[in-house]
Each structure stands twice: as structure tokens, then as C-alpha cells.
Chain A
Amino acid sequence: MPINGIDAAAMSASLEAFRSGERPSTLMGRLMKGFSHDEIQAIAAWVAAQR
């Protein structure tokens, strides 16, 4: 599924949930553990701006 343009708030909530393990995943949890809250916000803002 393309993720470009997904709302930033929804995306950062998903990424935070991957990081905490609240949302189960194969890979995303492992990756998100390497990112801070601010970095997750930045990713979400960037993805939202892509078309």
C-alpha cells in the first residue's frame, strides 16, 4: 500500500505504536526503536507532504 500523503498525526501515532510494541509488526517495531519522538514526527510530516 502506498503511504505517500497519509495524514501526519495518523502516521506518527502508528509509528509510535510500532515503537512501543502496542501495534504488532514483523519489522517496523525493530526499526522504530532507533528513532526519537521528534524524528518520528519529522518522518510523519515528510510522508504527509509526498504525493
Chain B
Amino acid sequence: MLDRRAMLAATATALAAPFVPRAGSAQSIARVVIVGGGFGGASAARALRKADPRIDVTLVEANPVFTSCPFSNEVIAGLRDISGQRFGYGAIAESGIHVVQSIATAVDPVAKVVTLDATTSLRYDRLILSPGIDIAYDLMEGYGEAAAEILPHAWKAGSQTTLLRRQLEAMADGGTVIISAPANPYRCPPGPYERASLIAHYLKTTKPKSKLLLLDAKDAFSKQKLFMNAWAKLYPGLLEWVSLSDGGKVIGVHPATKTFETEFGAHAADVGNVIPPQRAGKIAIVAGVADKSGWCPIDPVTFESRLLPGIHVIGDAAIAGAMPKSAFAANAQAKVCALAVSRLLGGMPPADPLLVNTCYSLVAPGYGISVAGVYRPRNGLLTDVEGAGGMSPIDATPETRATEAEYADAWFRTITAEAFG
């Protein structure tokens, strides 16, 4: 086997004109490519740079500006402007990370090359995929990219977010809003319920004769007691949750009539929001690191793929055991993965990690609730540390709810600063 020095020399000579030119690679000990510039990928790039500045880090991201899903429910409810969701890559690029605005289209795990387009490829010693989710349009009858312009999913923030906002603004008082929530697993487990809460708040304060129907493919959901307790107090008669057992599972939609089809009948909406089934972002599927579930099995110590060595998967795309698919989790996983990658490249064994997640949700302005967990690898999976974590108390005072709403704001400022600088 070639030693590391010889292997890197071989890598360097293999670099030819079609490859993206890079500055400062002369002193680099290794090359890491990160695909996906969301909370996971951006955090990983920065953490890796901090862990060992000698590692040459390239971040591949399709969009020039990132639009955050966390807090986008506030945009939909008219409580926040979309501009507050946007974060650029300037600070990341200034820190010496190569930011390449492009789409990764293929991965050769043997040659260790990521293909961007016909003329550009990137060699790597280790690859970190943080591709987030793709909407599984094929798993929802009648739904697709064109249908999403009528019945937005708004589960990737940006134009879908503002589209749903405009539809709610245009709706007459007395209208019906329908949200469909998917089966597990999916991005942001409490997200559909926070969204229902904040849309209900908008309707209650501006269009009080309206109704909101939340059709669910599940019988139980994240922070359920806290949400349902708050709904009974704040939105009685306005917000109705229909569980799987009560016929809530949406099996198809008809965009032309804005109708949601369940096994028990059809519901017509004035504004319809389909939160559809999801799978790992396309490059994970193309690279071959997703299993038949559509998500990516990983080693919980390093986040290296169980299917292909040298490729790590973090964030929503990964099967992270007890950890939910959240921005907080993606950021925590990014730091653990970056440290593991840096140690592996330096010939050191990775350290056993301890990870934390907190998901805040707003059920109304100034009314925050949270669920938290602490996780460590056990028998090859990330598992809950017993006795830790859990939900906000069901009987908390209004002052505590207000404090948690403030902490949610502070969390957003902190995590976006950490990921994007």
C-alpha cells in the first residue's frame, strides 16, 4: 500500500487543467470536499478549517445564498421577513475555504473524485456529503414540481416560503387552510406543528372565521402534548388535527381543485400546503451511500458511510439513530465529523463523541416550547443518554414560555453565526 505522502503526491500529479484551480494547496496535508452548504456542510467546512488549517477544504453549493428553514414558519405567518433567513458564503470564503458554486452530479468512490459538470471534477481524500433532503414527489400521487407552485411544500426555504405566505395573505376570511404532514422520518419533526400553530395565529388575528385542518400520516408527533395543550387554549375551533387513525393520511392531491385525498374521503382547501415524503438529497443516492430506505446509514463515531468508505454523511440525509433531522443536529454532527475527519487524516483514531440537540418551536409569538436530547454512540447507533433531555414542562408559566421564545431567537442568531460567520 502506498504511504500517505506517496498517495498525496499521486493525487497532486493527477491534478490537470480541467480541475478547479486552488490557492494555498501547496502546504496542504489533505484535501476534503464538502457537498452542500446548509447548516451541516457550512458548519463542517468551518470546523474542519479550525481543527487543522493544513487541510484543503472545498465547499460545493448550488446556491449563491443560503435560505434558512428554521424560523421560516415565522415568515409564512407574517411575523418575519424572508431577508432575515438569508446567509451568504462570503465569510466562509474569506476564512480560506474554497467555495464553489456548482452542483455535484457524480461521485467515483474508488478514484475519489466528485464530478461537478462536464469540465470540472474535484479530487478528495475524504468527502463529506451534507445534501439535506429531496422532496419525494413520486411518493405522493398528483404531486410534482408544477403542483408545488399551486400547493407549495415550503419545506425548502426560499420562493416556496414566500409563495405560501402570499397565498395566505390573498385568502379571504372564512377560508380553509389544509396542511398535510408526512410519516416519519422527515426534516424537522416538530416543524409541521409549529407551522400549523403560527398559521393559526395569523388566521386568529387577521381572518378569524377561517379554519385550519392538519391532516397527518401519524398518530403521534414531536412535543405532541405541549402543542395540543397550547392549541386547546389558543386556537380552539380554528385548528383541527386529524390523526392517521382518524383518516388523516393524505394519499394524493389534485392541484387543479386544491383537493387532498385521504383513504376516508377528500378535503378541499383554499390554501393547501403539502409537506410531502422526503429522502436524502440526490447526490447521496447517486453516490451510492443511501440504502433502500432513501437515507444514509453511518458510523456514529465518524459519520462515515456504512456503504462506501471515505465518504461521510451528515445532517438530514444521515440515519442518525435517536437524533432528529434538525439544523441543530446537523451542526453538532458537522463538528463531530470534522474532528473525526481531521484526526483520521492525521493518522489518529477518532474520539468517542457526545452530541446534543435542541428543537425550539413557537406556538404563538412569545410562546416557545422545546425538546432536547443528549446522544452517544452505542452498539453502532446514536442513542439517547438516559435521564437527559426531554420536553419543556407541560405546566410551565407564561414567563417560562416567553423565555423559551427568547432563547429560540438567540439560538437562531448563534447557529447562523457559527455556520456562516
Binary flags per residue of B190-224, CB closer than 8 Å to A gives 1, else 0: 00000000000000000000000000000000000
**Chain B nearest CB, measured from A26 CB (Å):** 5
Residue of A at shortest CB range from B358? A27
Binary flags per residue of B295-308, CB closer than 8 Å to A gives 1, else 0: 00000000000000
Query: Once the chains bind, are B407 and A26 in contact (CB under 8 Å)?
Result: yes
Chain B residues closer than 8 Å to A35, beta-carbon distance: 354, 374, 388
In the complex, what distance in Å separates the CA atom of A31 from the CA atom of B372? 7
- Please tell me the number of chain A residues within 8 Å of chain B, measured between CB atoms: 9
Residue of B at shortest CB range from A1? B410
Q: Interface of chain A, helix or strand or loop or mixed?
A: loop
In the complex, what distance in Å separates the CA atom of A27 from the CA atom of B340? 28
Q: Does B11 contact A (CB under 8 A)?
A: no
Query: Once the chains bind, are A31 and B407 in contact (CB under 8 Å)?
Result: no
Known A27-B370, A31-B389, A34-B387; judge A39-B354 contact (CB<8 A). Answer: yes
Chain A residues closer than 8 Å to B385, beta-carbon distance: 33-34
Q: Interface of chain B, helix or strand or loop or mixed?
A: mixed
Query: Once the chains bind, are A34 and B354 in contact (CB under 8 Å)?
Result: yes
Query: Once the chains bind, are A30 and B404 in contact (CB under 8 Å)?
Result: no
Residue of A at shortest CB range from B404? A26
In the complex, what distance in Å separates the CA atom of A1 from the CA atom of B141? 49
Query: Once the chains bind, are B354 and A30 in contact (CB under 8 Å)?
Result: no
Chain B residues closer than 8 Å to A33, beta-carbon distance: 374, 385, 387-389
**Chain B nearest CB, measured from A19 CB (Å):** 9
Query: Once the chains bind, are B388 and A26 in contact (CB under 8 Å)?
Result: no
Query: Once the chains bind, are B389 and A26 in contact (CB under 8 Å)?
Result: no
In the complex, what distance in Å separates the CA atom of A31 from the CA atom of B358? 9
**Chain A nearest CB, measured from B388 CB (Å):** 3
Query: Once the chains bind, are A26 and B400 in contact (CB under 8 Å)?
Result: yes
Q: Does B356 contact A (CB under 8 A)?
A: yes
Chain A residues closer than 8 Å to B407, beta-carbon distance: 26-27
Residue of A at shortest CB range from B354? A39
**Chain A nearest CB, measured from B412 CB (Å):** 15
Chain B residues closer than 8 Å to A31, beta-carbon distance: 356, 358, 372, 374, 388-389
In the complex, what distance in Å separates the CA atom of A33 from the CA atom of B387? 6
Residue of B at shortest CB range from A39? B354
In the complex, what distance in Å separates the CA atom of A18 from the CA atom of B388? 12
Q: Does B392 contact A (CB under 8 A)?
A: yes
**Chain B nearest CB, measured from A32 CB (Å):** 8
Chain A residues closer than 8 Å to B373, beta-carbon distance: 34
**1-51 of chain A: CB within 8 A of chain B:** 26-27, 30-35, 39
Residue of A at shortest CB range from B393? A26
**370-421 of chain B: CB within 8 A of chain A:** 370, 372-374, 385, 387-390, 392, 396, 400, 403-404, 407
**Chain A nearest CB, measured from B157 CB (Å):** 25
In the complex, what distance in Å separates the CA atom of A27 from the CA atom of B385? 16
Chain B residues closer than 8 Å to A27, beta-carbon distance: 358, 370, 372, 404, 407
22 A-B residue pairs with Cβ-Cβ distance under 8 Å, sorted by A, are A26-B400, A26-B407, A27-B358, A27-B370, A27-B372, A27-B404, A27-B407, A30-B372, A30-B388, A31-B372, A31-B374, A31-B388, A33-B388, A33-B389, A34-B354, A34-B356, A34-B374, A34-B385, A34-B387, A34-B389, A35-B354, A35-B388
Closest 10 CB pairs of A and B: A34-B374, A34-B388, A34-B385, A33-B388, A30-B372, A33-B387, A26-B404, A30-B390, A30-B389, A26-B403
Additional 5 contacts, C-beta under 8 A, given A26-B400, A27-B370, A39-B354: A26-B396, A27-B358, A30-B372, A30-B388, A32-B388
